[in-house]
Structure 1
């Protein structure tokens, strides 16, 4: 009776392990694992005890779980890097914009200073002319 129950557990675990056709099409790396699992299942059926079959099935479950975990980590990593990349781009653009505004303000200040200097130069030239030619004013 115990052997029958172990056989049923192994059978149900094997059924859970076999991927759907859709999953196989979506994940090209999954085909290799599926083929390896099927090969090991066949070997277990041919030359092993039920207990050995359970151990192999348990390892295959671990493989599947680990593969799923790696896939999820890859996807979350890609998402994280995409978000960081977008943030980096936005921040870099903002820094550029701020620097351009600072330089534009600097240019305005220089132009205002230049205009003021030109006015002072004109006034000084007029004063110099008047000092050199005092009889023109009388």
Structure 2
């Protein structure tokens, strides 16, 4: 009899563990939560991929814009350098002309 009682106790413990592990309703609830976890994980993954794509696009647009701004600024400064060189050449010419005029005036003044 003892063996039978001992066996009966083991069966009762097994049923109790099964009930703790999960009734059909609990298993269904757990299954729903697991589905929510899977859905949420998929959503997060999609958002991460979408975010990466957006950031890459923004990064490319930013890089292109910065390169264009740099190019435009360099061209502007190169034009300023060109204008300064033209102005300098004009000033050198005007200075030479004034120097020659001054020389002529001194010589003309000395002759009279």
Give the TM-score normalised by the residue count of structure 1: 0.63
Number of equivalenced pairs: 95
Superimposed CA distance per residue, residues 1-51 of structure 1 (whole angstroms, 9 cap, x where no aligned partner): xxxxxxxxxxxxxxxxxxxxxxxxxxxxxxxxxxxxxxxxxx979832111
2:32 to 58, 72, 86: 58
Question: Take 1:44 and 1:78, find their aligned partners in 2: how far apart are those partners?
Answer: 46
- Offset, 1:55: 0.6
Higher relative CO (Cα under 8 Å, sequence separation at least 6) belongs to 1
Runs of 4+ with deviation above 4 angstroms: 43-46
Q: Name structure 1 gaps, 5 residues minimum.
A: 1-42
- Higher Cα Rg, which structure: 2
Task: Give the match for residue 78 of structure 1.
Answer: 52
Q: Where does 1:29-68 land on structure 2 (aligned, <5 Å)?
A: 47-68=21-42
Distance 2:90 2:110 in 1: 28
Distance 1:45 1:96, change over 3 A: farther
Which structure 2 residue ranges, 5 or more long, are not aligned? 1-16
1:105 and 2:79 correspond = yes
User: What is the distance in 1 between the residues matched to 2:61 and 2:19?
Assistant: 54
TM-score by length of 2: 0.77
Q: State the superposition RMSD in angstroms.
A: 2.3
